[in-house]
Amino acid sequence: MKRLLKYLKPYTLSIVVIFVLVYVQVQTDLQLPDYMAKIINQGIIGKDTGLIWSTGGLMLLVSLLGAACTVAYGYIAVKVATGFSKTIREEVFSKVESFSLREFDKFSTASLITRSTNDIQQIQMVLVMVLRMVLSAPILGIGAIIKAYGKAPSMSWIIGLAVAVLFGMFIVLFTIAVPKFKLLQKMVDRLNLVTRENLTGLRVIRAFNTEEQEEVKFARANRDLTDLNLFVNRLMVIMQPMMIMILNVVSIMIVWVGAHEIGTGSLQIGDMIAFMQYAMQVIFAFLMISIIFILVPRASVSAQRVADVIDTEPLIRDPQEPKRYSPNVKGIVEFKNVTFSYPGAETPILKDVSFTAKAGETTAIIGSTGSGKSTVINLIPRFYDVTDGQVLIDGLDVRNVTKEDLCDKIGFVPQKGVLFTGTVDSNIKFGRPNATNAEIKKAAETAQAYDFIMELDGKFDTPIAQGGANVSGGQKQRLAIARAIIKKPEIYIFDDSFSALDFTTDAALREALSAETRNATVLIVAQRISTIMTADKIIVLDEGRVVGVGKHQDLLKTSPVYLEIATSQLSPEELAL
């Protein structure tokens, strides 16, 4: 929690105002029993009607002042808490956007969603209560004890006994509840993870007819969370009847003892009633403090989780003194003895990989599953940094330039086409927001997406659902390719981006791309030999090593790995063997 307090600095003045308003409101609460005692002792018993009216009017004004202060500091407290949570959400979102894939491997997507929503909401709720209760409760409690002692010192032991009982009860509840709060947030993470997997994998679940299994998995996670929530809430519910019982017992004790003292003449009726009200205020103050002490541990767990995200420094950062690319050199990608290991892996996925991809050429990368093809591609835009060796673009190590300058050079089409909620037009313009309609149309035509777009009801204004759920896999890939094309980058990276296309569309797309990317560097990762047969250079990977470099016909003769992949997909006639 302490690590997040720095974000409260802009609200320092508001918190001071809240404190002043709380102090005034508490003083009004402390004055009312005094006025009540005065009316009873001097007005009713002393039969002074004028005093009753004047003191009663004063009580009304004081009550109105207290009510106004309560409304005012409640309003300001909510504004401070919501503003604080807004700032924290922005910080978390900004930090997550700067994460490399290494950080995403550390925090699951489901956990990041929980931290950005549920955890921050917990902090906001507790902050409102802290600003409204924690500031007032100690002042009210101490003030009421002093006032009560002044009215009836001989009965002060009743308040002391009540406070001791309350304190013991809170310690027991606190000891039981705190460990459960940590477990509660983990279970929320778990439920979010199961829900997200079900929603994103709904088609696969239905295809394999495993709805019942997934329902059982969700029910288990939901039941665990529900049971723990019920346990925690039952602890909280116990407080209410116990508090009512303590209040009633204290009231009875005050009336019992007070009646004896009134009978002996050592205590007035008004003072006994005032003492009872002060006792209620003391108990109420301790109740407020207890609620905060129970809620703060849960909020502190949430704050810890949020702070962990904000305090995580991305391993991939811009250099302090970045270098700038020369305008005279464009699109040369070079791997120099690159070795790479994923975090926690025992062996490197890439071992001593070296090759050069030049502008105006198409360089293809092929290999069996797990050979490291996509890993090679992920090192170019610095989704990961190399373990050893160098990745150079235009002669500069990618670690020595800013990520903004680096990504400006690259048009990236991932293996899984990702679309955003919006329209077809907005998804294509994601690559270049200021693109004209003519450029959007040209990019769509090159990506072989124009024909199917024109068949849609809204054409380019057709809505795209979250994740592109309302378009097919091939359409999604073509829109993702159009998004990269419209950017007109120096380097095009296609990470198995043609896998969902039929052979005819694949061939037409590659032909259109060759004209569009004539002066650019094109890197293609592919599983299909037919996609890369015409490439200027083919890199063959096997178990993370380069085992062949050359053109299609040359590799058929010199690379057994390439020949094996090729003959498994195409006939000798198609391979021109």
Split the chain (577 residues) into runs of 10 and give each run's mean pLDDT.
Answer: 75 87 85 77 70 82 88 89 89 83 74 82 85 80 82 81 80 75 76 77 75 84 86 75 81 83 77 81 79 73 82 81 80 88 82 87 85 86 87 87 85 81 85 84 84 83 78 81 86 79 76 81 84 85 86 84 80 64
Same domain (yes/no): 353, 478:
no
Same domain (yes/no): 278, 372:
no
Rounded CA separation 486/442 (Å)? 8
Same domain (yes/no): 295, 277:
yes
How many domains are contained in the chain? 3
| pLDDT for residue 46 | 61
| pLDDT for residue 157 | 84
Rounded CA separation 136/138 (Å)? 6
Find the DSSP H helices in 100-210. Answer: 101-106, 109-114, 120-129, 136-151, 156-200, 202-207
Helix axes 269-311, 211-264, angle to 10 degrees: 150
Same domain (yes/no): 152, 232:
yes
Same domain (yes/no): 386, 470:
no
Q: Is residue 325 part of a domain?
A: no
Long-range contacts of 89-96 (CB under 8 A, 24+ apart): 89/116, 89/120, 91/7, 91/310, 92/116, 92/120, 92/306, 92/309, 92/310, 95/309, 95/310, 95/312, 96/309
Domain boundary among 457, 488, 519: 488
Q: Is residue 156 part of a domain?
A: yes
Same domain (yes/no): 423, 373:
no
Whichever domain contains 561, its CATH number is 3.40.50.300
Rounded CA separation 509/479 (Å)? 12
Q: Is residue 174 part of a domain?
A: yes
| pLDDT for residue 161 | 85
Q: Is residue 475 part of a domain?
A: yes
Q: Is residue 320 part of a domain?
A: no
pTM of the model: 0.69
Domain boundary among 442, 469, 488: 488
Same domain (yes/no): 194, 252:
yes
Residues 18 and 77: beta-carbon distance below 8 Å: yes
Domain boundary among 437, 461, 488: 488
Same domain (yes/no): 106, 172:
yes
In degrees and rounded to multiples of 5, residue 437 shows phi and psi of -60, -35
Residue 311, C-beta contacts closer than 8 angstroms, at least 6 positions apart? 3
Whichever domain contains 263, its CATH number is 1.20.1560.10
| pLDDT for residue 2 | 64
| pLDDT for residue 1 | 58
Same domain (yes/no): 246, 389:
no
Same domain (yes/no): 370, 447:
no
In degrees and rounded to multiples of 5, residue 116 shows phi and psi of -80, -15
| pLDDT for residue 577 | 52
Residue 539, C-beta contacts closer than 8 angstroms, at least 6 positions apart? 355, 363, 364, 365, 366, 376, 546, 548, 549
Burial of 547 (0-12, 13-18, 19+ CB in 10 A): middle
Residues 386 and 339: beta-carbon distance below 8 Å: yes
Helix axes 503-516, 437-446, angle to 10 degrees: 130
Rounded CA separation 102/117 (Å)? 22
Same domain (yes/no): 187, 72:
yes
Range of the domain at 347: 330-409+489-577
Task: Report the residue count for the chain.
Answer: 577
Put the strands of the sheet holding 410-413 in their side by side order: 410-413, 491-495, 521-525, 362-367, 537-542, 545-550
Same domain (yes/no): 367, 504:
yes
Q: Is residue 552 part of a domain?
A: yes
Long-range contacts of 508-511 (CB under 8 A, 24+ apart): 508/448, 509/446, 509/447, 509/448, 509/478, 509/481, 510/534
Q: Given the DSSP bridges, would you call strands 362-367 and 388-393 parallel, antiparallel or unpaired?
A: unpaired
Q: Is residue 277 part of a domain?
A: yes
| pLDDT for residue 574 | 63
Q: Is residue 131 part of a domain?
A: yes
